[in-house]
Amino acid sequence: AVMRNRAEVDATLQTAKLNPAELLPAVHCLSFGPQAGGGECCLLQLEPGLCAELEAGRSLVIRGEKDEHAVLCSKDKTYDMKIADTSNMLLFVPGCKTPEELNAGLVSCNIIHSQIAGFSNNYWELRRCRPKLKKLRKLLMEDPYEGPDSRKDQTSTFSKYTTEDLLSLIQASEEEILHQLQVIDACKIEGFWRILDFDYEMKLLNHVTQLIDSESWPLSKVPLCACLEELGSLEPREMIEHILLSYGRKHVDDGEVFFEMREDKICRAIAQMLLQNAVKFNLSEFEEVWQQSVPEGMTTRLDQLQGLALVDKSSRPETIFLLKVEDLPEDNQERFNSLFSIREKWTEMDITPYIQDLCAEKQTVGTLLTKYARSSMLNGVKVYNSRRPYS
């Protein structure tokens, strides 16, 4: 392409009847670069904070398999991506100066040949979303760890996942993934992230609680070293430490490591162990057995079972059954459909533990209920049911 010269520019100005005296001396002659029509460039509109992250040299990653809607992940946040169309044409021009830059005298010549790198009539919009973490649990549950004695591991053909594997498969930021691994008490065994098989987990917990009992240690101060010594012959030391980390709070006292056992979490796990053996239980019978099953010094309370079990107050006698929030769908509408198929009418108190995790940034349970449910009064109590005419 022939580059325009100053004389041609001035001639054009004259034809256009523009007064050069009213213009800044420098002109940009815009032409289309060699790659301009190729469509290899696209525009991504940045949410607050992302621009600064990029300028700081940090990466953004687009994640998603072909059947998933792509998400964009920064180091610690996840965003849905959506195409936005404009009726205008957007040209991206490298090296194009603004009037401020020209006035600052940064440009010495008065012709700037700028090549348009690309153009588009759409761009990607971002919207912060909940990280899609249900898949993480699903992947790790393909092959739960049953202990070193399990022959399953040697013959297992199931995939095992490293951190890198998870980063490429899960639509969430790295920090969100690592945080969730901690929340679900996953542990790294031989470089792979594993979730413990529940029965094995209870077996480990039981070793520890029995030892606490026989040694008469205070529940708030369980010594790590002694546990490893006493139980090291029964189970791998890493597993003993892992169960203490999962069910206790670590603190160091005088150079020695102790754990403050978490009463709520232990009671909850034991409840799960009891409840998983039947469809439902007589509530008062369950409460009695449950209290007897937990370590000496711990007190069971029904509120420890939020998101794990549901009490049916309408049946005579009252019953309780296992309902784990992590088994329910991740999508908002599907979650509500599922809940309403289990029970037609819910009080806010009962449903909250089962929808709390759906709340996006600055969203409340109330907003969700307004959107996905219809309220009515039942015996003087406000209840929520499905918006659909048929359940």
SS3 174: helix
Among 42, 84, 104, 106, binds another protein (CB under 8 A): 42
Angle (CA) 325 362 52, round 5°: 115
CB of 92 within 8 A of CB of 117?
yes
CA distance 352 to 358: 10
Q: Which stretch binds another protein (CB under 8 A): 56-64, 246-254, 285-293, 366-374?
A: 56-64
Instruction: Specify the residue, 29 or 359, whose C-beta has the smaller distance to another protein.
Output: 29
SS3 28: strand
CA distance 87 to 161: 45
To another protein, the closest distance from the beta carbon of 76 in angstroms equals: 15
Instruction: Specify the residue, 40 or 296, whose C-beta has the smaller distance to another protein.
Output: 40
Residue 244, phi then psi, degrees to nearest 5: -65, -40
Among 84, 93, 266, 329, binds another protein (CB under 8 A): 93
Q: Does 8 bind another protein (CB under 8 A)?
A: yes
Instruction: Specify the residue, 94 or 297, whose C-beta has the smaller distance to another protein.
Output: 94
Among 85, 99, 191, 377, binds another protein (CB under 8 A): 99
Q: Does 117 bind another protein (CB under 8 A)?
A: yes
Among 30, 211, 226, 257, binds another protein (CB under 8 A): 30
CA distance 69 to 183: 25
Q: Does 167 bind another protein (CB under 8 A)?
A: no
Which amino acid would we find at residue 38?
G
Reference 189, options 244, 242, 229, 235; nearest CA is 242
Residue 380: alpha-carbon gap to chain centroid: 38
To another protein, the closest distance from the beta carbon of 108 in angstroms equals: 17
To another protein, the closest distance from the beta carbon of 93 in angstroms equals: 5
CA distance 383 to 375: 6
Among 107, 123, 163, 202, binds another protein (CB under 8 A): 123
Instruction: Specify the residue, 32 or 217, whose C-beta has the smaller distance to another protein.
Output: 32
To another protein, the closest distance from the beta carbon of 331 in angstroms equals: 16
CA distance 217 to 209: 10
Among 76, 91, 175, 359, binds another protein (CB under 8 A): 91
Among 54, 189, 202, 325, binds another protein (CB under 8 A): 54
